[in-house]
Amino acid sequence: MGHNTSEEFDSVIRICKDLFIRKTKDYGTAWRILRLSSITDQIFIKAQRIRTLEEKKVSKVGEDITSEYIGIINYCIIAMMQMEMDETHPTDIPADQVEALYDGIVKETKDLMFAKNHDYGEAWRDMRISSLTDLILMKLLRVKQIEDNEGQTVASEGIKANYQDMLNYSAFALIKLS
């Protein structure tokens, strides 16, 4: 059976974006108050919860792994939006502007995914979902270390590349779960 990664990715992102835009209409852009380290911690909580659910196979709050991966994607996008804005940028951003920012970040991240897929031959298709979760957790620990080092790196990718990878790993997991 053939796969169309572009269509599958777009389908996953449509679900994430629809939820994000609906929440933006409900809550506005209250997330603008969050520091990058707080967003990283929110992603960490979601990834850790996925890992717990993978191991225990039962949820006591009724949310499943799928909703957590959607949350990771949307928080990664929030983080990258925050990186593009400084504290002088307004806190309240109109929904149409948020949607344009969302689309731009997704396009850039999807382009990166295709460049890496070309080099790795879509190896993610043969991976376990639990391995994608572990990779997200590893990337989070890297981001936390970079944040603790005040953004300074010696030989590694910066924070944004790690958020992009986490977004793509989450999209892969959602594709595999569907």
**Whole-number mean pLDDT of the chain?**
91
Looking at residue 29, what is its pLDDT? 94
The type of residue at 33 is I
Q: Per-residue pLDDT averaged across 25-29, rounded?
A: 92
Looking at residue 157, what is its pLDDT? 82
Q: How far is CA 51 from CA 61, 64, 134, 163, 167, in A?
A: 15, 11, 8, 18, 16
Q: Phi, psi (5° rounding) for residue 155? A: -140, 15
pLDDT tens digit string along 47-62? 999 999 999 876 666 6
pLDDT tens digit string along 94-118? 888 999 999 999 999 999 998 887 7
Looking at residue 177, what is its pLDDT? 94
Number of domains in the chain: 1
Query: Is pLDDT larger for residue 120 or for residue 51?
Result: 51
Q: pTM of the predicted model, to two decimals? A: 0.92
Looking at residue 1, what is its pLDDT? 47
User: Which tokens go with 97?
Assistant: 């502007």
pLDDT tens digit string along 53-96? 999 876 666 668 999 999 999 999 999 999 998 777 778 998 88
Q: Which domain holds residue 108?
A: 5-177
Q: What percent of the chain has pLDDT over 90?
A: 71
pLDDT tens digit string along 31-40? 999 999 999 9
CB within 8 Å of 42: residues ≥ 6 apart: 34, 71, 75
User: Which tokens go with 43?
Assistant: 């992603």
